[in-house]
Structures are given as structure tokens and as C-alpha cells.
Amino acid sequence: MGLDIWRNPWIGRSMFGEMDEEFAEAEDMLSRMFRTVREIGSSSTLEYPYYYGYQVRVGPDGIPRIREFGNVRPAAKGLVEQSGVRQPLVDTILNEKENTLTITAEMPGVDKENINVNVTDQHVTIHAEKRDKKYHADIPIDVELGESSAKATYSNGMLELKIRLKEASKPKGKAIKVE
């Protein structure tokens, strides 16, 4: 077929014509996106940078969990700033061999003294605030945590929290001798 395109100009035109149409559609879409961003930028009080995204993780039960993050949310007319508080990107890793849960959150621009972490048996709250940098995340956890074992470190804008899981209670009982 390769040579047929050059021998028969109509085949080449239809194939390249479809590609031209697809490129034209992509160019129109990009133009609309840039026009929207310019309009939002000129008529909005959004502070640069602003971003929005989804984090998708599959839990140990095979069910995907989707969380939003960022300092803006989509609305009918573009992006809407939620508040001065930003939800950081958070990653959770369950290590069943070590019986620990590690939570990592990106929070640049604050000091470790500005970070508050609260751990309950099935929930973690992270809050940090320093001048114009404000972060807040509520993280539901589907395993039981041993809150007294939590250790947090903060370096280069990354908070790492390691928490041991609650030990499964061993059933109490009494051994009975069989006669």
C-alpha cells in the first residue's frame, strides 16, 4: 500500500485529510483552553500557581480509591479557588510485612514547627500554616492504627509519617486438658 499512496493521489489525500482534520480539532481545543486560561487569569483573583488533579490508588481489597488534590476545583465557568488552604498530594503505603502504614505529603514552604498531625485509630489529619502557605488534609484509613507508635519527619517540603498498625487482639482463653 505504501507505493499506492504515491501512485493514486486520492488515497493519500483522504488519509492525510483525516489527519489534517484531527490536527485542526486538536488546535481548536488548545486555542479554547488557552483562551479560557487567559480569561480566568484576567478576571479572577486566583494566585499563581494553581493546580488540580486526581490521585487514583487501588486498595488491598482491589477497589480503586480516587482523591482530589490541589488549590482549585473545576466549576461550570472554569476554575474556582477553594480557599487559601491547599490540599497537599498525599500518598499512603501499607507494608504488611513490617506491619506499618507510611503516609507521605508534599507541603513546601512551611517549617516542621508549623505542622500539626493528629492520628486516631482510623483517621489522620495533617494541617500546616506559615504566612500564605496553608495545607490541610483529612485522610481516612481503612486499617486500625496504633496512634502511640506514630513518628513524623519533615525534610525538603515532604512530610513522612510512619505508623504501626494495631496488633490483632489475641483471643483470651484457657487451655483445657482432655482426659
What pLDDT score does 113 carry?
A: 93
Query: Could you say which DSSP state residue 150 is in?
Result: -
Q: Is residue 156 left, alpha or beta, with left meaning phi > 0 and alpha meaning psi from -120 to 50?
A: left
Question: Distance between CA atoms of 126 and 83, rounded to whole angstroms?
Answer: 17
Least confident of 43-52, 62-71, 148-157: 43-52
Max intra-chain CA distance, the chain: 98
Enter the pTM of the model: 0.55
Question: Among 54-68, 101-115, 152-166, which is the least confidently predicted range?
Answer: 54-68
State the pLDDT at residue 74.
65
Burial 132-169 (b: 16+ CB within 10 A, else e): ebbbbbebebebebbbeebebebeeeebebbbbbeeee
| Residue 16 predicted with pLDDT over 80 | no
Better-predicted residue by pLDDT, 172 or 177: 177
Q: What is the mean pLDDT of residues 47-52?
A: 60
Average pLDDT for the chain: 76
Q: Convert the pLDDT of each residue in 81-127 to its tens digit.
A: 555 777 888 888 888 888 898 999 999 889 999 999 998 877 899 99
What pLDDT score was predicted for residue 131? 85
The percentage of the chain sitting over the pLDDT mark of 90, rounded to a whole number, equals 16
